[in-house]
C-alpha cells in the first residue's frame, strides 16, 4: 500500500469516529437484536418441521435395519439440544422478560417446576 492510501484510511477512520455518536450505535444494536430474535424464532419453527420429518424417517430406517439404533439416539439427543437452546440462552443471560412468549413459556415452566421441588 502506498502512503496516500494509508493516510486516506486513517483519515476515514477518524472521520467516522468523530461523526458517529453513541446513540447511533445503540440504534444499530437494537435493530440487530430485533432482527436476530425474529430470525431465531422463524428458524426454530422451520427446524421443528424438518425435525419431525427426520424423526419419522430415521425411526423407520432404524426399525427396518438400515441404520443403527445408536444413530437414532444421537439424532434424538441433538434435536433435544436444539429445542432447549432458546431456554438455555435465556437462563444464562437472565433476560427472560425480553424474549418472545414461546421462549418465555419454556423458561418460566422450568423455573416453576424447579422451585416446587425445593
Does pTM surpass 0.85? no
pLDDT of residue 71: 87
pLDDT of residue 92: 74
- Ranges in the chain, pLDDT < 50: 118
Q: Is 69 in contact with 57 (CB distance < 8 Å)?
A: no
pLDDT of residue 105: 54
pLDDT 10s digits, 76-87: 898 888 777 767
CA dihedral 44, 46, 49, 55 (to 10 degrees): -70
pLDDT of residue 113: 55
Amino acid at each position: 500500500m502506498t502512503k496516500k492510501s494509508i493516510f486516506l484510511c486513517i483519515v476515514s477512520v477518524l472521520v467516522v469516529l468523530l461523526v458517529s455518536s453513541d446513540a447511533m450505535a445503540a440504534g444499530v444494536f437494537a435493530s440487530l437484536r430485533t432482527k436476530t430474535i425474529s430470525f431465531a424464532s422463524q428458524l426454530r419453527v422451520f427446524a421443528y418441521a424438518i425435525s419431525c420429518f427426520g424423526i419419522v424417517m430415521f425411526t423407520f430406517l432404524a426399525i427396518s435395519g438400515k441404520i443403527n439404533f445408536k444413530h437414532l439416539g444421537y439424532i434424538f439427543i441433538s434435536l433435544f439440544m436444539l429445542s432447549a437452546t432458546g431456554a438455555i440462552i435465556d437462563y444464562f443471560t437472565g433476560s427472560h422478560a425480553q424474549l418472545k412468549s414461546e421462549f418465555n413459556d419454556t423458561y418460566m415452566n422450568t423455573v416453576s417446576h424447579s422451585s416446587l421441588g425445593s
